[in-house]
Structure 1
Amino acid sequence: MSQQSASARNALAHETSPYLLQHAANPVDWYPWGEAALEKARREGKPILLSIGYSACHWCHVMAHESFEDAATAAIMNEHFVNIKVDREERPDLDRIYQIAQQMLTQRNGGWPLTMFLTHDDHLPFFGGTYFPREPRHGLPGFGEVLQRIAEFYQSEQDSIRRQNESLRQALDSMAQQTAASADSLNPQPLTLAIEQLAQNYDQQHGGIGSAPKFPHPTHIERLLRHNALEGDARARDMALQTLRSMAAGGIYDHLGGGFCRYSVDAEWNIPHFEKMLYDNGPLLALYSEAWQVSGDDQFKRTAEETAGWVLREMRAPEGGFYSSLDADSEGEEGRYYIWTPASIEAALKDDAEAERLLPLVMRHYGLDRPANFEGHWHLRVTRPLSEVAEELGLDIADARALLDRARQKLFAVREERVRPGRDDKLLTSWNALMIRGLATAGRVFERDDWIEAAATTLDCIREHLWVNGRLLATYKDGHAHLNAYLDDYAFLLDAILTLLQARWRRADLDFAAELAEVLLEHYADEQRGGFFFTADDHEQLIQRSKPLMDDSLPNGNGIAAFALQRLGHLLGEPRYLDAAHRTLLAAWPDIERLPFAHNALLLALEENLYPPQLIILRGDADQLPTWQAIAQQGYQPRRLTLTIPAAETNLPGALAAMQPQGPAVAYVCSGTQCSAPIDDAGMLRRQLHGA
């Protein structure tokens, strides 16, 4: 749809969010969340219909086609409600509040599309749900009927609505009344208990936590790998590696183009929900790189390379950042872009000189010799290991790998001719930060300067377009950045910068990290109880100022803020950062103790609070430092932070100022506030870090 045609219909035509623009030509008189819509509701006394979704959401599209594009349904909406459409990726503050309220009201899990009905004056929800069909089915009432009943109820039952809203307000307020633990409460027990809880929910056969629908949960995998590094726990390592192997072999992974889909609808990782999100692939890129460090398994390296290849090929914006997501649908059907038939595979490969060897290899490896697995079609996943198929076909494993790569390239070229899924081309600060961290980690592990450069360019993009007057903005598209940033934006970006600094030193990046930390402390910190609010102190006033502690599809912002501030505090010798991190842990301690495995981001901070990170500062000549850096960064050492700072760099801030160059190269090795004598011999450094 064109923006010009949309502008004749509703107020979404002037937005930049691709999701909002998808609804700009609806017959519904949609408004974005803002004073114009809220004032209209107050003036007219109409309840607000709040619809929250995102552009890659399949059921959001279904509800849009069934109801929001239907003139009769739109007429009811326009007559009785002020209709507000929200992109949950741009406004996670609103989404977080109303998802929690929906769960309180209905005692059911939330999701998208989220459909909430709010009072006209104080914006408290009095009824809600997720997807409603246009006609009654699956035990759900038709949306038109719901609208009529809600409109009548709102006019006749104001007293009961206000009583319910007062109870809801009290419940929301009580969530903020956290009681902090005493100063000596922190202990390592939650680190161990989290592993036990993960083990209890672990799928021994297929890997992963829980059953269908099964999500990647990068924070869980990271906890398992870090616990193995901390305690030498082989069980934790094996759970992490089996999960990563199963995901890379399953249909949740794109075997032709690289990258991971959002989740698997089954427990076996076979059939995904086909949307691809930037926020999954950044953390998974880092994890597959670290899994290769732990295991040396080339499957992890290939998966990391292909995932990085996908994001750089298909998600890169001209400004240097990364787009948000790829849709689950193309041509109106979920997964259409990705699926095959044996006949279409044969047609794609038949003209190759090696077709007689390619076809049976692809068919057996990816399961096309088995019954269709997706609505009469085949979605590629590894059903038999390549080594097994190679032996059956009398092929050397190296030849089989070369043949498979050749076939994949041909199939990928054919798929490129199809109608592509829609792409949400806004840049989100927090999601780009996760990809900066992923690329910087993978670039350092695999010595890929191009990936490190891409991470640095993305950080530069954020500084240029989303850092305005000393504050971050949340989203950018088509030359326009807007919306005050959230806790996640600052926390994830601070963590990403510290990761990038380990791959490539840039003084400006360290200074930027310190600026971000200062904004966190000034505008987001809860000075009374500890921890950080999701929104700044000068943010729009909503029905709740939340302080989330639990991980969801993203790592928790309080946990990452505490983790990154702790690291920066040790690095610069800044006690204010260390104190803010410690107070966050104390504020969250009752929640951490109650359910450790749901607070993995906070467990990162707890681990390094109890066992401070090892800091290695390398100073010296540019031609000497790479050798020293390779020694310091050898292997999977998650609690090690290494900065390689050229001798020419002067006037370093804080504790770094004392770490002066001495001769061709020197290493300063510190743990917490304790530092060893400078080490001026590379062999000695190797022995101290890795033993004889």
Structure 2
Amino acid sequence: MPNQLQYETSPYLLQHAENPVDWYPWGEEALTKALEEDKPILVSIGYSACHWCHVMERESFEIESVAQVMNDHFVCIKVDREERPDVDAIYMDSVQAMGVQGGWPLNVFLMPDAKPFYGLTYMPQKNWVNLLYSIQAAFAEHRADLAQSAEGFARELNLTDAERYGLSQNEPLFSAETLDVLYRKVAVKADDEKGGMRRAPKFPMPSVWRFLLRYYDVTVASGVENEAALHQVKITLDRMALGGIYDQLGGGFARYSTDADWFAPHFEKMLYDNGQLLTLYAEAYSLTRSPLYKHVIYQTINFCQRELLSPEGGFYSALDADSEGVEGKFYTFTTPELKEILGIDFDWFAELYSITEAGNWEPDHEGHGLNILHRTESDDSFAERMGWSPADLNVRLDATHTRLLRVRNERIRPGLDDKILCSWNGLMLKGLATAYRVFGEPEFLTLALRLAFFLMKKMRDNRNGRLWHSYKLGRARQTGFLDDYAAVIDGLLALYQATFTESWLTEADQLMQYVLTNFTDDHVDELTGADPMFFFTDKNGEELIARRKELFDNVIPSSNSMMAENLHALSLLLDRPDYAERADQMLGRVQPMVQQNADYLTNWASQFALRARPTAEIAIVGPDAEQFRAEIDAEFYPNKVLCGTTDKSELPLLQQRGPVEGQTAIYVCYNRACQLPVTSVADVWRLVR
């Protein structure tokens, strides 16, 4: 019989709905049951595209005898970490406080009052059953000790950031010297030969490379160009785009590479990675004009449109790593398959994509060698070596890719996680808007506008202005978290600057005001004063055992670092000194942490790079406003905000400004001090550079 997960919409929870384990979703029913029956709680957290989550389900959760032990002694709760990042974050923090390296599946044992006392990640069936019996015995015989331990972890979770990290209120120092310190902290861990950081597995980590782009721009402006910083960005983006982590046939990036060479991916594809990487590659293209980066952007947007776009305009969350229960089966080829499909084109194709007779990756279950398509050589270099023109190579690549895709598309596809997450769609909105600003491709703007309308119509509660976190089957659910607001505001600000449609700026400000009302910490510490950082959860949301703040940047930048960036941009576009003051307070509070651990706070570091010199406020007024906007956006200059109108506007930067002698005028200001208007983009660059 299906368990209580049958009534959920999360694909991950529904995957477990027919397990013999009596799973409950996180909620009042399960938590009350634990208290009434006086049983410990097992919270098992994962997500639909998680390979080892599937393995543990097959080995343990689908087995009647294992489920019987779990049902007899525990109240079992399944959590989709993507749907409930607040629950995941609290229990991930607790497990790491226990000295366990985090990951998923995350299995945490709680007292009946939901306080954690033990946790772990994946465990094979035999060990898992033994652990269940040990936990049950400890709960029966040493309950007081477990309760004391749980109280200690709960206290740790409720420490303030000032207590945990020694934060105090400082005046932020925006200087080239500070920036050099941050750069060295990151650069010393970067892999100058293979790109990424010097470790395996390797994650894309877009915020790291966006920081280095901004740092490089500052060094150019100061006349001491740091070529090493740009090299670290380019080698990373080149190797990722040519490696197995990138789907060479269909576009789109996998979540990470299991090795140091970007060769063997963990094949799941996540919307949050691809949205952020669109922004990164578009910015890098505007600086380098690399044809490879343009190819990646167009192909990745095509992938997202083809495989992740919902009919309503929002984007689904992820594609599974597995198909038919085998990781990577959809994406890999045996050598005999490739020979049959490609015929006379096999030899050069095999050389370009490092195909071997025995397979370049691990064999399948039948012992056939599998190949991951990956490259180490650029198009130009390979074409020259083969005696072809670049155009000849492109024709050959298009033909072979088309044949291989035709075969691949007939295979059983990886599972689709078809819930729509607000925060991840905000990241995608920023990626699409940035790609449009750089390339001017109308289709990119069409997708961005559809997505923005979807978010504002389907994922916002018009009764109170708040966002919903998750959407599926016409139903929005779960009060939005800080990262939902941070990512959507960022996306809306990019869309406004791409279109000069003022309603998007208004929507962004309304969401900001909601955050300031409902996510602010009202507690005032005697030593540190009021904390300018925001809570991760809405004060109107569910109350958990701790209310935390997200500070560290990870594969997705922290919600507080994105909010500080949003506050700064809005302060300039709307002339809101109070927003600027809040942003400066946040940067001042976090600066000691950033100087110590810049590699874990790279989105914060990016803001120190942007603030090392005044932000250019560029206002465009006149009939050619869109053309001038496109010319400005085509060049890499991250330290700016743009606003414009073809006629008149009441926005602060546009008030009482108009064309000059009938010509579209561009007004450049710094720190509320304006230069004389100019009538060409060339003149703008003379002013800002």
TM-score range, shorter chain: over 0.9
Residue 545 of structure 2 corresponds to residue 543 of structure 1: yes
Query: What TM-score comes out, normalization by structure 1 length?
Result: 0.93
Q: Residues of 2 paired with 1:627 and 1:551: CA distance?
A: 36
Counterpart of 1:269 in structure 2 is: 262
CA deviation after TM superposition for structure 1 residue 132, in Å: 1.2
Residues 180, 529 of structure 1: 8 Å contact kept: no
Counterpart of 1:560 in structure 2 is: 562
The AA in structure 1 aligned to 2:117 is: F
Counterpart of 1:446 in structure 2 is: 439
Task: List structure 1 runs of 4+ shifted beyond 6 angstroms.
Answer: none
In percent, how many aligned pairs have the same letter?
39
Q: Residues of 1 paired with 2:373 and 2:681: CA distance?
A: 48
Correspondence list, 1:129-278, <5 A: 129-135=120-126, 142-178=127-163, 180-188=167-175, 189-232=177-220, 233-278=226-271
State the superposition RMSD in angstroms.
Answer: 1.8
Q: Residues of 2 paired with 1:383 and 1:633: CA distance?
A: 31
Residue 666 of structure 2 corresponds to residue 667 of structure 1: yes
Query: What TM-score comes out, normalization by structure 2 length?
Result: 0.93
Match of 1:657 among 637, 655, 661: 655
Q: Residues of 2 paired with 1:595 and 1:398: CA distance?
A: 46
Counterpart of 1:332 in structure 2 is: 325
- 3-state SS of 1:65 partner: helix
Residues 643, 653 of structure 2: 8 Å contact kept: no
The AA in structure 2 aligned to 1:578 is: A
Counterpart of 1:522 in structure 2 is: 517
- 3-state SS of 2:585 partner: helix
Query: Which stretch shows the higher mean deviation, 472-481 or 599-608?
Result: 599-608
**What is the CA deviation profile of residues 248-285 of structure 1, one whole-angstrom value per residue up to 9, with x for unaligned ones?**
11100000000100000100000000000000011111
Residue 405 of structure 2 corresponds to residue 420 of structure 1: no
Q: Residues of 2 paired with 1:560 and 1:535: CA distance?
A: 15
Residue 582 of structure 2 corresponds to residue 597 of structure 1: no
- 3-state SS of 2:24 partner: strand
Match of 1:373 among 360, 379, 383: 360
- 3-state SS of 2:298 partner: helix
Q: Residues of 1 paired with 2:685 and 2:585: CA distance?
A: 36
Consecutive unaligned residues in structure 1, runs of 5 or more = 1-7, 136-141, 351-355
Residues 644, 654 of structure 2: 8 Å contact kept: no
Correspondence list, 1:612-691, <5 A: 612-621=614-623, 624-647=624-647, 649-650=648-649, 652-660=650-658, 663-680=662-679, 684-685=683-684, 687-689=686-688
The AA in structure 1 aligned to 2:128 is: F
Residue 581 of structure 2 corresponds to residue 579 of structure 1: yes
Residues 116, 128 of structure 1: 8 Å contact kept: yes
Counterpart of 1:508 in structure 2 is: 503
CA deviation after TM superposition for structure 1 residue 676, in Å: 2.0
Match of 1:115 among 92, 100, 107: 107
- 3-state SS of 1:78 partner: helix
CA deviation after TM superposition for structure 1 residue 215, in Å: 0.8
Consecutive unaligned residues in structure 2, runs of 5 or more = 221-225, 363-368, 523-529
Counterpart of 2:403 in structure 1 is: 410
- 3-state SS of 1:467 partner: coil
CA deviation after TM superposition for structure 1 residue 175, in Å: 4.5
Residues 632, 689 of structure 1: 8 Å contact kept: no
CA deviation after TM superposition for structure 1 residue 667, in Å: 1.6
CA deviation after TM superposition for structure 1 residue 381, in Å: 0.3
The AA in structure 2 aligned to 1:119 is: M
The AA in structure 1 aligned to 2:134 is: R
**What is the CA deviation profile of residues 54-100 of structure 1, one whole-angstrom value per residue up to 9, with x for unaligned ones?**
00000000011111111111111111111110000011111111111
Q: Residues of 2 paired with 1:133 and 1:401: CA distance?
A: 48
Counterpart of 1:3 in structure 2 is: none
Q: Tell which has more relative contact order, 1 or 2 (C-alpha 8 A, sep 6+).
A: 2
- 3-state SS of 2:478 partner: strand
CA deviation after TM superposition for structure 1 residue 502, in Å: 1.8
Are the structure 2 counterparts of residues 593 and 388 from structure 1 closer, same or farther at C-alpha, using a change threshold of 3 Å? Answer: closer
What number of residue pairs does the alignment pair up? 665
Counterpart of 1:5 in structure 2 is: none
Residue 353 of structure 2 corresponds to residue 361 of structure 1: no
Match of 1:488 among 460, 463, 483: 483
- 3-state SS of 1:481 partner: strand
**What is the CA deviation profile of residues 492-549 of structure 1, one whole-angstrom value per residue up to 9, with x for unaligned ones?**
1111111111211222111101101101111112242111111112221112111121
Residues 364, 383 of structure 1: 8 Å contact kept: no
Q: Residues of 2 paired with 1:471 and 1:653: CA distance?
A: 24
Are the structure 2 counterparts of residues 682 and 238 from structure 1 closer, same or farther at C-alpha, using a change threshold of 3 Å? Answer: closer
The AA in structure 1 aligned to 2:643 is: L
Correspondence list, 1:3-14, <5 A: 8-14=1-7
Match of 1:457 among 445, 450, 458: 450
**What is the CA deviation profile of residues 147-184 of structure 1, one whole-angstrom value per residue up to 9, with x for unaligned ones?**
11111111111111122122222322234335544443
Counterpart of 1:4 in structure 2 is: none
Q: Residues of 2 paired with 1:147 and 1:472: CA distance?
A: 39
Q: Residues of 2 paired with 1:69 and 1:627: CA distance?
A: 60
